[in-house]
Structure 1
Amino acid sequence: MNAFEIYGGKPLKGEITPQGAKNEALQILSAVLLTPEKMTISNIPDIKDVNKLIELLGDLGVAIERISDDTYTFEAKNINIDYFQSEEFKTKGGSLRGSIMIVGPLLARFGKAAIPKPGGDKIGRRRLDTHFLGFEKLGARFHYDQDNHFFNIDATNLHGTYILLDEASVTGTANIVMAAVLAKGTTTIYNAACEPYLQQLCKMLNRMGAKISGIGSNLLSIEGVDYLTGTEHRMLPDMIEIGSFIGLAAMTGSEITIKDVHFDELGIIPTVFGRLGIKLERRGDDIYIPAQDSYEIETFIDGSILTIADAPWPGFTPDLLSIVLVVATQAKGNVLIHQKMFESRLFFVDKLIDMGAQIILCDPHRATVIGLNKAFKLRGIEMTSPDIRAGVSLLIAALSAQGRSVIYNIEQIERGYQHIDKRLLALGAQIKRIEGKPLH
């Protein structure tokens, strides 16, 4: 098992450029199946989840060419529909939660699809109901094979309809949009997700010939068309990486410039980190974070303890709550972290407590963090990464901690962060990849 060995407690310095957005990539790459024409996609992150999806597209028959490190062309002219029933597809599709995103495009263009029950993070239940209820409303019929954990879907006659989503699911909205763009008639999606990555998908589909209105709102109208053409698309930088680097700079007392962040697409993220007392400055399209000896958490106007909770866009993204939690351990003041969407995402706090953090885990969804104001440095320990976001939070903690830390199961981290050790080394971090496995 690969692990990271980190010697922390030293400030970092320099510039770092965020990768392309993982969550956008899984949508955009799936959309190449909607047209037989060539698609050119750039700023693709070189991470395991995305690379697995690209490999899966190739197995389905998509002609793929890598033009540069972050740019590929895709041509879905000859798709092998029979591949759905293969054991290889069941294995590969089941190991990648993002594989659910190919269903909408396949239903739209070919009228049928199959998908194994997808995998992904162990962060509690992540329902697929929104996807399938939307497909059903469009006229699809699906069968779940409980013995093989496999979904087979028939959609030979998709038609536009009114859909009120039970939750503003990002992947659910994207999947239903991709299914609806080639359906007969007009589809209306209310309570649609509206964050920048979904907007990016809709704008790209419109360049391909789709007719989507209401982009950026929670009410989308999609007039079905008969055919989509190829296009070029560049993905946004990953807002979760940007937030992670802001937190890293604060915890390690580092002077860091985050380059090319598309600041206007970050929504409330800079504001939330500002409420933790972190100073950051917009410089063009970069974010400059000065070295800070301390940062103080704000209170509410009446003096009560600050609560930071996740919410659908334009609320605060749940993927950054783990980062906010770990950063708060070294702030001055207290904060309640309320993770509403996933019931197991706070279960990594035991590692932070072992490192010396003062955290009360109230229940599976809430944790109170008592900031130490850097009076007591965290201490290095050996730990295992449970999921992508918790893994990076532990990595940030280790970089701020005194002494040696080892993080196992870094494959989880590398599912979402490309070449993270090399990029941190460039900032002056003491981190290296080692072989080993945890004692417990």
Structure 2
Amino acid sequence: MTGSGSSGSTASSRPARGDLTWLWVMVVAAILTQTSLNLLRPVTSYRLIEIGADEAAIGLATAAYAILPLFTAMWLGRSTARLPSLRGIIALGAAVMAISGVGLALGQSVLVIMVASAVLGMGHLVFTIAGQAAIGRRAPAHLMDAAFGWFTAAFSVGQMAGPLLSGLILGNTTLAESATDAGFDDRITASLWLGAGISLLAVPVMLALRPDGGSARRRSTTDPDDGLAPQATRGTSGEGTASGTASAAGAEGRPTMLAILKVPGIPSHMFAALALLAMLDILTAFMPLVGERAGVAPFWVGVLLAVRGGFSVLSRVFLPWISRRWTRNSLILVSLLVSAVGIGLVPVALTVWQSMLLAVLFMAAGGFVLGLGQPLTMTQISQAVPYTWRGPALALRLVGNRVGQVALPALAGLVAAPLGPAAGVWFACAVLAASGVERVTSGRTGPDRS
């Protein structure tokens, strides 16, 4: 009995472990698009500062990034569930991001930059929804944490490389010191063109991926995309199983927004994901402002943002090892609370203590734990719903993220306008802490529940 079970497990796991080419292609494409995204967004803040925009306007421009995705994420999630292959839609997302980079490079007014930012957000949404759906299709439950971990690690590589590239191009002088430098505007424009070009490189990478195999149909017992044996136990890995959710969600009917939100745990997971992503957006948009106020050059702002991304890469690389030793609920709680404290101290280190070393240390600690939360919330949401609901559920997660990306940067800008840019970062830290408190009060601190 034992031997039979062991043999079956080994047989079913070999294809998943042996043929991961699809995952590495997606990782390369994700690195390219996220490097582009995280080069374009902080440089956009410098462009806005240069043309005279204040904190409130920068907050609104940051919010514009999420406006189109807010209204299209669920539709895109349902559409990807019907597509026979996802490589084309993933490549399309990269191409749209490249087009938006051209718009940012050419834009010389707040309105044009807001429109280009909205297009950038749409391209990123298309890439992310299709990429997550591809992993939901192809990755078996016992490898899902690792697959989402590698995919989001690629995002963090881009979050490290993009700011470093922008900092190297913009240089080691503040905007105030560069007021008489006629070439500084040219360097901003060159950075934006570079971001557009890097995103465009992801298009041929994705088109080189082998098609999914024409499996658009609903898969209740077999998953042709990942080549696994019959999936009678698919989605029942470890503590976070999906078997109990079929009864909670009812028969696998239409995955409407309301039906998904009624699944136990989904609202809490979505709030955590929203808070974690909003912190990244607000950091990217407001750290250039914090740096300008503290007299920190763009190069060092890029270093700080790159440290955050780099330590998030590190935590996601070790995520399979970490998640075997601690529960997802515990790790998400640590991600929320520790990152709120660590990142909240970065502006203090720069403006009060005037110590770049302390700022780097706080950013490293905050970035490490911040990197744990996103892939774990993806897994919790994926395994909380019936298997055929995974694409729409992850799309709904992105809708929630986009609600946060519209509302929270705008609110952070309003907070920062009278109190200074550091207050915008502290506002994001408060949202992280609030999500952590919600998980404590709802009892999501110990073993994961299905």
Q: TM-score, normalised by structure 2?
A: 0.24
Bigger share in strand:
1
- Higher RCO, 1 or 2 (CA under 8 Å, sep at least 6)? 2
